[in-house]
């Protein structure tokens, strides 16, 4: 039973490019959460999605960031026109439902050069 | 607004002794508190949790204590082992709209010395 799969593990983008981060939840999990960890900080909540629905995006920056969790396929976190300050580790977590059984993926480390 | 704070960025403990990691919070509405362990280049791994209505939860070498009046919790690891060296995050959970939103502290890097 594979855990939460995130890819790529490392992503390098030039300023102004787009970054796409993918997250495949654990089998049977329909709830996905995205968190961001800036250097020397804890993880910060970004967005909570269920299949085809964004439930809570209160932690998402208002511009350039978007997330989706389509009926088929992984959840995608998209960052348009990346800037240096977007460099961080982005973690996805999934759960089977509205309970506290989070499982985190290994993260995608985004570096903007 | 840092609702969950871990004021010690690092802690060094001798193998076999007790490790005590501390965490403070400001919001009385949290339902659960959790501790996560994180190795470099890996995601956080759940370690132990405590309900806001309890004051202690124990699991093997790990015990979490909650002092609601002081809005403080601590994780005790005894005896400490080299494999415990990692970054430990305290997190508080609040259920909103059925979502389990976690608020994390900044983390404490624990180093166990042989």
pLDDT tens, A64-78? Answer: 999 999 999 999 999
Question: Residue B92 has which token pair?
Answer: 């508080």
What is the arithmetic mean of pLDDT over A38-44?
A: 86
Please list every residue in chain A whose beta carbon sits closer than 8 Å to the beta carbon of residue B45: 104
Q: Is the pLDDT of residue A100 over 60?
A: no
Please list every residue in chain A whose beta carbon sits closer than 8 Å to the beta carbon of residue B4: 42
A78 contact B CB<8A: no
| Residue labelled with tokens 């305290």 | B90
Q: Is the pLDDT of residue A108 over 80?
A: yes
Q: Please give the pLDDT value at position A98.
A: 62
CA of A5: which chain B residue's CA is closest?
A: B43
Torsion of CA B75, B80, B86, B92, to 10 degrees: -10
Residue of A43, A47, A95 to mutate, interface with B, max B Cβ within 10 Å: A43
CA of A4: which chain B residue's CA is closest?
A: B43
Q: Which B residues in the span 67-106 are in contact with A, Cβ-Cβ below 8 Å? A: 89, 91, 93, 95-106
Q: Is the pLDDT of residue B61 over 60?
A: yes
Summarize pLDDT for B10-45 with one digit per residue, the tens.
Answer: 999 999 999 999 999 998 889 899 999 999 889 999
Please list every residue in chain A whose beta carbon sits closer than 8 Å to the beta carbon of residue B6: 42
Residues 6+ apart with CB under 8 A from B94: B27, B29, B30, B31, B101, B103
Burial label, B5 (beta-carbon count in 10 A; 0-12, 13-18, 19+): middle
């Amino acid at each position: 039973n594979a855990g939460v799969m995130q890819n790529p593990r490392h992503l390098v983008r030039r300023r102004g490019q787009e970054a796409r981060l993918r997250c495949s939840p654990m089998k049977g999990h329909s709830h996905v959460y995205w968190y961001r960890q800036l250097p020397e900080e804890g993880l910060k909540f970004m967005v909570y999605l269920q299949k085809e629905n964004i439930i809570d995006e209160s932690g998402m920056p208002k511009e350039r960031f978007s997330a989706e969790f389509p009926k088929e396929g992984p959840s995608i976190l998209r960052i348009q026109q990346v800037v240096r300050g977007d460099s961080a580790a982005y973690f996805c977590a999934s759960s089977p439902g509205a309970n506290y059984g989070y499982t985190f993926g290994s993260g995608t480390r985004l570096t903007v050069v | 607004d840092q609702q969950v704070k871990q004021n010690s960025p690092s802690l060094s403990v001798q193998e076999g002794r007790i490790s005590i990691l501390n965490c403070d919070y400001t919001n009385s509405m949290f339902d659960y508190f959790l501790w996560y362990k994180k190795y470099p280049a890996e995601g956080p791994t759940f370690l132990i949790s405590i309900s806001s209505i309890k004051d202690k939860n124990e699991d093997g070498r790990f015990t979490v204590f909650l002092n609601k009046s002081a809005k403080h919790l601590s994780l005790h690891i005894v005896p400490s082992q080299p494999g415990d060296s990692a970054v430990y995050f305290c997190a508080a959970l609040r259920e909103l709209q059925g979502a389990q939103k976690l608020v994390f502290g900044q983390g404490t890097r624990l180093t166990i010395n042989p």
